[in-house]
């Protein structure tokens, strides 16, 4: 155990370059296939061994211990490995909540990694991922980060090599979406089977072929999410009209757009989003995941 020290982690968001729903399991989870990648919107998570348990977020959001994924990650490791300690969790939020960018799951993954180090548990990433999946389907991905293919309900993570990072715009509609509500809408709409070209998309991402990437990007949850949040369609239309290649991330409501790096085009798109009451951010894809920035005495 690292006595008297804090650990600070930089925790990136994620996007889904492609998301296919391939079925539904008996336990209610949907079977997915997706290409996911971490992106440069970050939460900061700081953990410290403390005299009492606490979990605080800034700006203030619902960080109540009961139901909070970051807290539940600590509670899971504490109970599983009989850790007789208390933990202070402080999260500085920059990843939008309810946007399909994975902020809650990312923070939980950071707690798993941080506690593993603070208490010298020496668990492998695969072991942490198995534990993390019991809390949330996206947590295993965040323990790996970078570019990865996701299968099953999120438990199967296949890291992929990638040599470059891509400029992106991220549109953040004012309305957030519940993943459960989007999947319920998806089930009601009963869309027909769609087979996505994952190998073609992966090859394009690895080769830097922007035209091919944009042609292969797809998310089967978009129609369901748009039925609940029309601003998604508005954001996509604005980004498309400025020569960018937009796609909703995860179950929404955020939309990311692949850019060619033209600053003038990007700034015009951000201004157009703002006129419609939709926030926008510049970002880029990442080849790494959660970063242990420092251990502070």
Catalytic residue annotation:
14, 138
CA angle 181–45–149, rounded 5-degree value: 55
Cβ atoms of 153 and 32 closer than 8 Å: yes
- In DSSP notation, 37-93 reads EEEEEEEEEEEEEESS-EEEEES-----TTT-HHHHHHHHHHHHTT---EEEEEEE-
- Taking 90 as the threshold, does the pLDDT of residue 123 lie above it? yes
The percentage of the chain sitting over the pLDDT mark of 90, rounded to a whole number, equals: 84
Kind of pairing between the strands at 291-296 and 6-24: antiparallel
The pTM of this model reads: 0.94
Q: Specify the CATH class of 6-160+286-296 in words.
A: alpha beta
Instruction: State residue 41's pLDDT score.
Output: 98
Instruction: State residue 193's pLDDT score.
Output: 64
pLDDT in tens, 136-179: 999 999 999 999 999 999 999 999 987 689 999 999 999 999 99
- In DSSP notation, 197-245 reads -HHHHHHHHHHT-HHHHHHH-EETTHHHHHHH-THHHHHHHHHHHTT-E
Closest CA to 179 of 148, 139, 137: 137
How far is residue 245's CA from residue 260's CA, in Å, rounded to a whole number?
Answer: 9
pLDDT tier at 297 (50, 70, 90 boundaries)?
very low
User: Collapsing DSSP states into helix, strand and coil, what is residue 100?
Assistant: coil
Cis peptide bond prior to 59, omega within 30° of 0: yes
Residue 65: burial class (beta carbons within 10 Å; 0-12, 13-18, 19+): middle
pLDDT in tens, 192-242: 667 789 999 999 999 999 999 999 999 999 999 999 999 999 999 999 999
Phi and psi at residue 193, to the nearest 5°:
-65, 135
Kind of pairing between the strands at 86-92 and 147-152: unpaired
Instruction: State residue 62's pLDDT score.
Output: 58
User: Collapsing DSSP states into helix, strand and coil, what is residue 156?
Assistant: strand
Instruction: State residue 238's pLDDT score.
Output: 98
Question: Regarding predicted confidence, which is higher, 190 or 249?
Answer: 249
Domain boundaries, the chain: 6-160+286-296, 167-284
> Which CATH superfamily does the domain covering 167-284 fall into?
GHMP kinase, C-terminal domain (3.30.70.890)
Residues facing 184 on adjacent strands = none
pLDDT tier at 190 (50, 70, 90 boundaries)?
confident
Instruction: State residue 294's pLDDT score.
Output: 66
Instruction: State residue 242's pLDDT score.
Output: 97
How far is residue 284's CA from residue 170's CA, in Å, rounded to a whole number?
Answer: 9
Which range has the worst mean pLDDT, 4-8, 129-133, 138-142?
4-8
pLDDT in tens, 60-75: 765 555 568 999 999 9
Instruction: State residue 263's pLDDT score.
Output: 96
**pLDDT averaged over every residue in the chain:** 93
């Amino acid at each position: 155990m690292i006595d008297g020290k804090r650990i600070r982690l930089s925790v990136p968001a994620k996007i889904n370059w492609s998301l296919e729903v391939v079925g539904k399991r008996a336990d209610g989870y949907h079977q997915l296939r997706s290409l996911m990648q971490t992106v440069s919107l970050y939460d900061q998570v700081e953990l410290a061994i403390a005299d009492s348990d606490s979990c605080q977020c800034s700006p203030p959001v619902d960080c109540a211990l009961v139901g909070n994924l970051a807290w539940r990650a600590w509670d899971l490791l504490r109970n599983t490995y009989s850790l007789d300690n208390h933990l202070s969790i402080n999260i500085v939020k920059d990843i939008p909540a309810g946007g399909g960018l994975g902020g809650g799951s990312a923070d939980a993954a950071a707690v798993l990694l941080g506690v593993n180090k603070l208490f010298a548990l020496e668990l492998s990433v695969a072991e942490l991922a198995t534990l993390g999946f019991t809390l949330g389907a996206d947590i295993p991905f965040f323990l790996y980060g970078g570019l990865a293919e996701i299968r099953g309900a999120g438990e199967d993570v296949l890291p992929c090599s990638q040599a470059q990072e891509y400029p992106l715009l991220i549109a953040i509609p004012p309305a957030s979406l519940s993943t459960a509500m989007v999947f319920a809408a998806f089930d009601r709409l009963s869309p027909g089977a769609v087979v996505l070209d994952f190998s073609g998309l992966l090859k394009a991402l690895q080769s830097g072929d922007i035209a091919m990437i944009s042609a292969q990007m797809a998310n089967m949850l978009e129609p369901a999410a748009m039925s609940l949040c029309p601003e998604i369609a508005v954001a996509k239309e604005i980004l498309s009209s400025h020569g960018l290649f937009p796609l909703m991330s995860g179950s929404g409501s955020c939309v990311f757009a692949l850019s060619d790096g033209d600053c003038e085009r990007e700034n015009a798109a951000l201004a157009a989003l703002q006129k419609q009451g939709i926030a926008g951010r510049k970002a880029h894809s990442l080849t790494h995941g959660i970063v242990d920035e420092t251990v502070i005495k």
